[in-house]
């Protein structure tokens, strides 16, 4: 359980952890190379430990020390993503693309992860089929097999992050050229491409929605740095907006938060970016705004719950429209327990700012909802007790320590 004691303004400086959503596909990418890959600034979070377990079960030898992860994938002895770990984490599905790239075959289970929507993988599977992969589904298991994995022209009907990563991983060592149109443009995909290029992959169009990948036969040893987690940065900036105060966040990839920082400014925060450092100062209550989530460079769905919490303690009536994951309004029910005024109608939420909330016992429904409740607790009278916080530790290395270093009264109790 996490306990937050509200009403203390924040002040301080912290360094942001490495990005979960970048680290996970980068770890899968290490499978493509019959040798050693080193990743630095790897976050010590549950999803990373789960991905390590998957890679080990496939035959890789791993070492994680001081945020440096070494993956020796000289021997890959299994092509089956284990059921328990695969279902524990949505990102396990990108291991399938890497297995196809490495061995031309792979087996996976329908992935799990946060319960924020139905989260199908039809786009991933259709793209693999375009590359000559035969897919067979048995209950919740997927068998993917290709005689030779062939480059193909693929157009995604929606810029799915995971499907884009899977196509990249499968295409890097496929025969011939893959042209991927309608690709997702999230910064984590740029990081994955940057790492693969350092390993010798031929990828053009990075940062755009059209990637051209020419298959290569071999990759080489490389080391690469995981970028700072822009969602964690956004969470802590919103935390300062809820609690009031000021903070300096280092290494948090603020350059990839453009639209979020603009929203924060519209809500009354004074935000400044200098290199990879972002600073924020907030006096008064956050002003209401309208936010619509959308794929990058739009407002990220991963920060929607946290923005909702901040609006709930702000002033005026604001609107949130969720266009990416249908289940992402579950946070509202928990915030209601804290006295928030939020009305949900379909994919829209109307939030009336109340200035402050009341501490209550609430449940983290998913990773980002848990972080949102911690942020709400900073502006609540009395104690907020967050249960099921295992979800939070899937993505935040030390949310209590970070917020405490900024002056927050927040602790973990077993």
Question: Is 114 in the active site?
Answer: yes
* Catalytic residue (choose from 60, 114, 193, 365): 114
In the complex, the residues that contact ligand UD1 under the rule CB under 6 A are 21, 24, 90-91, 117-124, 158, 160-163, 184, 186, 188, 300-302, 324-325
| Residue, CB closest to ligand UD1 | 162
Rg (the chain; Cα; Å) = 21
CA distance 87 to 75: 24
Minimum gap (Å) between residue 157 Cβ and ligand UD1? 9
CB nearer to ligand UD1: pick between 246 and 322? 322
CB nearer to ligand UD1: pick between 248 and 306? 306
CB nearer to ligand UD1: pick between 161 and 172? 161
Alpha-carbon distances, residue 32 vs 76, 95, 161 (angstroms)? 10, 10, 19
Residues contacting 90, CB < 8 A, separation 6+ = 111, 112, 113, 114, 119, 162
Is residue 304 within 8 Å of 312, Cβ to Cβ? no
CB nearer to ligand UD1: pick between 183 and 222? 183
Which residue carries 């035959």 as its tokens? 59
CB nearer to ligand UD1: pick between 184 and 403? 184
Enter the tokens of residue 248: 């300096």
Question: In 189-259, at which residue ranges do the beta strands (DSSP E only) sit?
Answer: 202-204, 210-214, 222-225, 245-250
Minimum gap (Å) between residue 359 Cβ and ligand UD1? 28
Minimum gap (Å) between residue 231 Cβ and ligand UD1? 7
Is residue 6 within 8 Å of 378, Cβ to Cβ? yes
Minimum gap (Å) between residue 82 Cβ and ligand UD1? 18
Is residue 393 within 8 Å of 46, Cβ to Cβ? yes
Minimum gap (Å) between residue 202 Cβ and ligand UD1? 24
Enter the tokens of residue 354: 């109340």
Catalytic residue set: 114
């Amino acid at each position: 359980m996490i306990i937050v004691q509200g009403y203390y303004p924040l002040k301080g400086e912290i360094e942001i952890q490495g990005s979960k959503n970048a680290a996970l596909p980068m770890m899968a990418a290490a499978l493509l190379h019959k040798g050693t890959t080193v990743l630095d600034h790897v976050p010590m979070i549950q999803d990373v430990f789960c991905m390590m377990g998957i890679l080990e079960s496939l035959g890789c030898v791993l070492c994680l020390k001081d945020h440096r992860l070494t993956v020796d994938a000289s021997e890959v002895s299994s092509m089956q993503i284990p059921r328990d770990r695969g279902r524990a984490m949505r990102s396990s599905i990108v291991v399938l693309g890497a297995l196809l790239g490495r061995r031309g075959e792979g087996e996976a289970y329908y992935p799990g992860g946060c319960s924020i929507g139905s989260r199908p993988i039809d786009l991933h599977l259709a793209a693999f089929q375009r590359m000559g992969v035969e897919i067979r589904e048995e209950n919740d298991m997927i068998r993917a097999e290709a005689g030779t994995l062939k480059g193909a022209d693929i157009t995604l009907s929606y810029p799915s992050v995971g499907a884009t990563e899977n196509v990249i991983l499968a295409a890097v060592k496929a025969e011939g050229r893959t042209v991927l149109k309608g690709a997702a443009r999230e910064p984590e995909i740029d990081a994955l491409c940057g790492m693969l290029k350092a390993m010798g992959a031929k990828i053009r169009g990075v940062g755009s929605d059209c990637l051209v990948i020419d298959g290569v036969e071999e990759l080489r040893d490389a080391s690469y740095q995981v970028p700072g987690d822009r969602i964690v940065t956004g969470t802590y900036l919103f935390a300062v907006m809820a609690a009031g105060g000021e903070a300096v966040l280092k290494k948090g990839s603020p350059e990839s938060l453009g639209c979020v920082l603009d929203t924060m400014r519209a809500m009354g925060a004074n935000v400044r970016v200098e290199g990879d450092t972002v600073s924020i100062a907030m006096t008064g209550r956050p002003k209401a705004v309208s936010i619509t989530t959308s794929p990058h460079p739009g407002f990220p769905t991963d920060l929607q719950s946290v923005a909702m919490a901040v609006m709930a303690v702000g002033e005026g009536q604001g609107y949130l429209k969720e266009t990416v994951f249908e289940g992402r309004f579950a946070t509202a029910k928990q915030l209601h327990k804290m006295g928030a005024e939020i009305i949900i109608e379909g994919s829209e939420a109307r939030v009336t700012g109340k200035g402050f909330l009341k501490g209550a016992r609430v449940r983290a429904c998913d990773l980002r909802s848990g972080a949102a409740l911690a942020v709400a607790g900073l502006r609540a009278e009395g104690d907020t007790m967050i249960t099921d916080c295992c979800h939070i530790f899937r993505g935040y290395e030390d949310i209590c320590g970070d917020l405490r270093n900024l002056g927050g009264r927040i602790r973990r109790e077993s």
